[in-house]
């Protein structure tokens, strides 16, 4: 929930480079790819930028952060050390803080953010100061240092820096401290903002339910319903599903069920054990949305649970014709687990080895690869 919501904060910690050189443009392209979640492609752009002559701490810091996302921790450590060997700029200090935060080295991350804020203050760069303070406050929150986090969020609110998001986060801190009246004051203020979206209410509801404040969660869930379906906002059905209100969602199924909504429904029905209904949903989706790899992946999981391995493998073959690298990787992972469940470790190992030849394996895949190499005797 926390990671999902932080994507809504829209704090760009990576600068948009505007240099006129070829390496600057390549670096900027890498940053854009990183923000899209295309970490492997971003790393390729960063390396190309280096070969074009770019030098300095920021390119290595960006490579360190991308390496963490790709689970290449040894490379990440080498890149950040190289980055810090250059001039210790305010932006570099902030990126180093983000790097250490990703690794869970919170003390180092705090030091970097504090140094970044100090440098920004000395140079009178207010926006840079607020960016670092926002990240530091989020880091405090992640560690459970809620009072420190609230102090930071309140300063950002007083300066009008992303008030909606930081107000909600301040409210969430008070929820974690079980000060629900104070939390409600922040949430109510956020609700008055016309930019408050269903996604914000999903986060608020989730935080309140985590602390078992169910009546308050119900109240904000109802408020969220009022902003669903407006302009490009999510539908009531999707809002109910993402809020965990599946019974309400089943009453809101639209006639023109979108693939994303249908997958949510199919996975919910699978979790409930209603496999027949889930299969009907997936077949309906495939009829209306041919060659959608995401549908095949979810349908494949259902068939694995039902023990229908032949159908699951056929679904994977169809998925392979239609998927993006990310979706295809998920399909491959399901097939690997399927072979393992059948006791065929040789096939599972061969499939994962073939996948690793053309894709950067995730941490999960790497651990499984090591296990299978030992189990299969390779």
Q: 10-23: buried (b, 16+ CB within 10 Å) or exposed (e) per residue? A: eeeebbebeeeeeb
**What residue has token string 């339910």?**
209
76: part of which helix (H) or strand (E)? helix 73-84
Assess if CATH 1.10.1040.50 describes domain 1-103: no
- Between 144 and 351, the higher pLDDT residue: 144
Instruction: Write out the two tokens for 236.
Output: 């009531």
The reported pLDDT for the residue numbered 329 is 61
Q: Name the band, by pLDDT with cuts 50, 70 and 90, for residue 80.
A: confident
Q: List the single range of 29-43, 111-125, 260-274, 289-303 with lowest mean pLDDT.
A: 289-303
3-state helix, strand, coil in the chain (%, to 5): 75, 0, 25
The model carries a pTM of: 0.65
- The residue that leads in pLDDT, 163 or 284, is 163
pLDDT at 15: 40
pLDDT, residue 166, reads 95
Q: Which two tokens stand for residue 108?
A: 């180092």
Q: Cα torsion for 236, 237, 239, 244, to the nearest 10°? A: 140
Ranges 39-43, 350-354, 371-375, most confident: 39-43
Q: Confidence band (pLDDT; 50, 70, 90) for 266?
A: confident
**CB contact set of 84 (below 8 Å; sequence gap of 6+):** 57, 92, 96
CA–CA separation, 336 and 347 (whole Å): 8
Give the least confident one: 129-133, 234-238, 324-328: 324-328
Which pLDDT band holds residue 251 (cuts at 50, 70, 90)? confident
* 94: pLDDT strictly greater than 80: yes
Distance CA 253, CA 42 (A): 38
Residue 13 binned pLDDT confidence (cut-offs 50, 70, 90): very low
Mean per-residue pLDDT, 10-16: 37
Q: Which residue has the higher pLDDT, 158 or 291?
A: 158
How high is the pLDDT of residue 372? 63
Domain boundaries, given as residue ranges, for the chain: 1-103
Q: What confidence category does residue 217 fall into, taking pLDDT thresholds of 50, 70 and 90?
A: very high
Instruction: Tell me the pLDDT of the chain averaged across its residues.
Output: 81
- Provide CB contacts within 8 A for 149, sequence distance 6+: 137, 138, 140, 141, 169, 170, 173
Q: Please give the pLDDT value at position 5.
A: 43
Give me the mean pLDDT over the 326-331 stretch: 56
Write down the pLDDT at residue 272.
81
């Amino acid at each position: 929930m926390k990671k999902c919501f932080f994507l809504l904060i829209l704090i760009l910690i990576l600068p948009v480079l505007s240099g006129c050189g070829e390496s600057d443009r390549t670096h900027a392209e890498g940053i854009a790819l990183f923000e899209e979640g295309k970490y492997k492609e971003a790393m390729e752009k960063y390396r190309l930028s280096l070969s074009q002559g770019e030098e300095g701490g920021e390119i290595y810091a960006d490579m360190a952060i991308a390496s963490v996302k790709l689970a290449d921790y040894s490379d990440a450590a080498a890149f950040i050390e190289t980055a810090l060997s250059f001039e210790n700029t305010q932006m570099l200090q902030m990126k180093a803080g983000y790097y250490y935060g990703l690794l869970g080295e919170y003390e180092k991350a705090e030091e970097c953010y504090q140094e970044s804020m100090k440098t920004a203050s000395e140079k009178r760069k207010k926006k840079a100061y607020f960016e670092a303070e926002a990240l530091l406050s989020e880091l405090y929150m992640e560690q459970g240092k809620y009072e420190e986090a609230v102090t930071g969020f309140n300063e950002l609110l007083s300066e009008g820096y992303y008030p909606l998001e930081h107000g909600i986060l301040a409210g969430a801190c008070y929820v974690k401290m079980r000060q629900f009246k104070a939390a409600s004051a922040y949430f109510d203020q956020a609700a008055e903002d016309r930019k408050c979206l269903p996604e914000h209410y999903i986060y608020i509801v989730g935080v309140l339910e985590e602390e078992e404040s169910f009546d308050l969660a119900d109240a904000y869930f109802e408020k969220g319903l009022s902003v669903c379906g407006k302009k490009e906002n999510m539908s009531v059905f999707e809002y109910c599903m993402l809020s965990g209100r599946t019974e309400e969602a089943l009453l809101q199924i639209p006639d023109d069920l979108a693939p994303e909504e249908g997958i949510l429904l199919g996975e919910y029905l699978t979790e409930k054990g209603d496999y027949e209904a889930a299969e009907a949903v997936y077949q309906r989706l495939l009829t209306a949305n041919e060659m959608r790899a995401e549908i095949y992946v979810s349908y494949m999981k259902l068939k694995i649970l039902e023990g229908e391995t032949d159908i699951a493998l056929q679904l994977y073959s169809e998925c392979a014709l239609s998927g993006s690298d990310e979706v295809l990787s998920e399909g491959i992972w399901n097939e690997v687990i399927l072979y393992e469940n059948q006791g065929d470790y040789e096939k599972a190992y061969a499939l994962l080895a073939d996948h690793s030849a053309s894709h950067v394996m995730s941490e999960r895949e790497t651990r499984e690869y090591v296990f299978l190499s030992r189990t299969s005797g390779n």
